[in-house]
């Protein structure tokens, strides 16, 4: 019997950023529909697309992994790719919350399972860091995702399930590790050689925590404008300004699939801005919300088109 052909490598885990980016677009349109006369099917179309892309990516990773000589455990332990695996349960929580009004049993199940997976994976990943299996030079923006984005998204999802106590607990986890991981990332940037070009887009993740955390805070407090929520807004503003200042550097980068790292942070900031428009009952809130949602959609579409060109020309 001839040996089964073995593929050289697994599909990189950063490809799951495609699903997270599309989920971010869906969330932005859902937020816009609360302050503008936006047809509901628009947001639901993006939620459906994000679910299909997630299933497709999971299938592709499974099939390619079965043909690969590399183990999944080795990929999850990889200092570059490992933290990005948490994207799968993050997307699961977001899609599950959206499904709650339509399919409450299915939505609740998806949310709870995704919460458990995200918590266990973040805990396991941090245990590998505590046992010295990570070096400062390996840290990139994606390291913020497991404990920080995981904590804040879990907080919002828990509130959607009526588990407000769990929501506040997860919110606390997100806040603590936001400080820790951002500090480590800034120290790594300041004290080590520059990030490799394919990892530079992950720095955009820095502006996601105040937006995702601010949305979680609004969910837990029934959208009350408070000193803490204003603090989150201020942090979001300064980090967005920092990203805008870095645009000339980003524009010099050769395009890779890593550019999908920009999509979710941009969508999260837009969603947070739309939510603030609603909270303060701003003039022209509906028009501004539609403009922001459309801009995010165009941005992600451009990256999607360039990704297709890059894959087909490879």
d(CA 133, CA 214): 32
User: Is the CB of residue 157 less than 8 Å from the CB of residue 212?
Assistant: no
Furthest-apart CA atoms within the chain: distance in Å? 72
Q: If we measure between CA atoms, which residue out of 43, 62, 157, 60 comes closest to residue 109?
A: 157
**126: pLDDT confidence band, cut at 50, 70 and 90?**
confident
Q: Which two tokens stand for residue 190?
A: 């300041």
Q: Residues 218-237: pLDDT tens digits?
A: 999 999 999 999 999 999 99
Query: How far is it, in rounded angstroms, from Cα 81 to Cα 45?
Result: 30
Closest CA to 214 of 262, 152, 289: 152
pLDDT at 1: 38
Q: Tell me how far apart the alpha carbons of residues 228 and 181 are, in angstroms, rounded to a whole number.
A: 20
Predicted local confidence at residue 170, as pLDDT: 98
Backbone angles phi, psi at 7, to 5 degrees: -75, 150
Note the pLDDT of residue 218.
Answer: 98
Cα–Cα distances (Å) from 143 to 29, 173, 177, 180, 312, in that order, read: 27, 15, 10, 11, 30
Place of tokens 């052909």: 5
Average pLDDT value for residue range 68-93: 91
Decide if pLDDT at 213 tops 90: yes
In this predicted structure, what is the pLDDT of residue 314? Answer: 64
Residue pointed to by tokens 């979001």: 236
pTM metric for this prediction: 0.94
Quick: pLDDT tens for 96-115.
999 999 999 999 999 999 99
The structure tokens listed for 135 are 């070096």
Q: Pick the residue with more confidence: 52 or 68?
A: 52
Report all structural domains of the chain as residue ranges with CATH numbers, in order of start. Answer: 13-313 (1.50.10.150)
């Amino acid at each position: 019997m001839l040996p089964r052909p073995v593929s050289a490598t697994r599909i990189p885990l950063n490809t799951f950023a495609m699903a997270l980016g599309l989920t971010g677009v869906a969330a932005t349109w859902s937020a816009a529909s609360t302050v503008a006369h936006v047809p509901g099917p628009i947001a639901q179309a993006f939620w459906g697309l994000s679910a299909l892309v997630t299933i497709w990516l999971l299938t592709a990773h499974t099939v390619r992994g079965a043909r690969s000589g590399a183990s999944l455990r080795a990929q999850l332990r990889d200092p570059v790719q490992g933290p990005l695996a948490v994207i799968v349960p993050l997307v699961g929580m977001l899609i599950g919350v959206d499904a709650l009004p339509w399919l409450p049993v299915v939505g609740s199940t998806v949310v709870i399972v995704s919460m458990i997976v995200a918590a266990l994976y973040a805990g396991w990943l941090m245990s590998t860091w505590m046992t010295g299996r990570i070096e400062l030079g390996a840290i990139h923006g994606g390291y913020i995702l497991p404990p920080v984005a995981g904590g804040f998204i879990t907080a919002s999802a828990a509130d959607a399930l009526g588990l407000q106590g769990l929501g506040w607990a997860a919110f606390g986890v997100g806040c603590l590790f936001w400080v820790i991981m951002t500090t480590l990332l800034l120290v790594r940037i300041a004290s080590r050689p520059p990030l490799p070009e394919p990892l530079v887009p992950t720095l955009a993740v820095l502006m996601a925590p105040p937006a995702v955390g601010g949305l979680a805070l609004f969910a837990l407090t029934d959208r009350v404008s408070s000193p803490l929520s204003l603090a989150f807004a201020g942090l979001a503003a300064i980090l967005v300004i920092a990203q805008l200042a870095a645009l000339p550097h980003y524009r010099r980068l050769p395009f890779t699939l890593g550019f999908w790292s920009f999509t979710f942070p941009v969508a999260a900031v837009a969603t947070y801005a739309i939510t603030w428009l609603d909270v303060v009952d701003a003039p022209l809130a509906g028009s501004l919300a539609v403009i922001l949602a459309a801009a995010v959609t165009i941005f992600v579409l451009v990256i999607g088109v360039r990704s297709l060109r890059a894959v087909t020309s490879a």
